[in-house]
Amino acid sequence: MAEVAAVGKTEEELKEAGVKYKVGSFPMRALGRSRASMDIDGFVKILADEKTDEVLGVHMIGARCADLIAEAVVAMEFRASAEDIARMSHAHPTFAEAVKEAALAATDDRALHV
């Protein structure tokens, strides 16, 4: 069963406000842990300021998203950048790797497993 979780701004809100942003998205089906548990539906998407890289919103659909969103909430509370999240250790194989992969995708399209 897929879960849905989000924090911060949506793409529509950023567009309406005229904020320039970048998007990093990672499909759950590319994640080893998702494939092992057959929970391959969903994605993690990170929206970051185009200039400063500060995380402005995180949206996710998939297994364990109700748990995974906590990392995004903490990151946004401390005004972290997508690069900050990308550099943090994320155990393998876990669902949390999807957050790291989305952050890597938001920073110069550097996702490892796509």
Sequence spans of domains, the chain: 3-106
- pLDDT value of residue 110: 66
Catalytic residues, by residue number, are 92
Which residues make Cβ contacts (< 8 Å) with residue 11, sequence separation at least 6? 21, 23, 47, 57
If you average pLDDT over residues 90-107, what whole number do you get?
94
* Mean pLDDT for the chain overall: 94
Q: What is the rounded average pLDDT of the residues 42-71?
A: 97
Which residue type sits at 98? A
pLDDT over 90 (residue 108):
no
- Residue 52, classed as helix, strand or coil, is coil
DSSP letters, 22-70, are: EEEEEEGGG-HHHHHHT----EEEEEEETTT-BEEEEEEEETTHHHHHH
List, in sequence order, the alpha helices (H) in the chain: 11-16, 32-37, 65-77, 82-87, 97-106
Selecting from 3.40.50.170, 1.10.490.10, 3.30.70.270, 3.30.390.30, what CATH number does the domain 3-106 have?
A: 3.30.390.30
pLDDT in the model for residue 84: 97
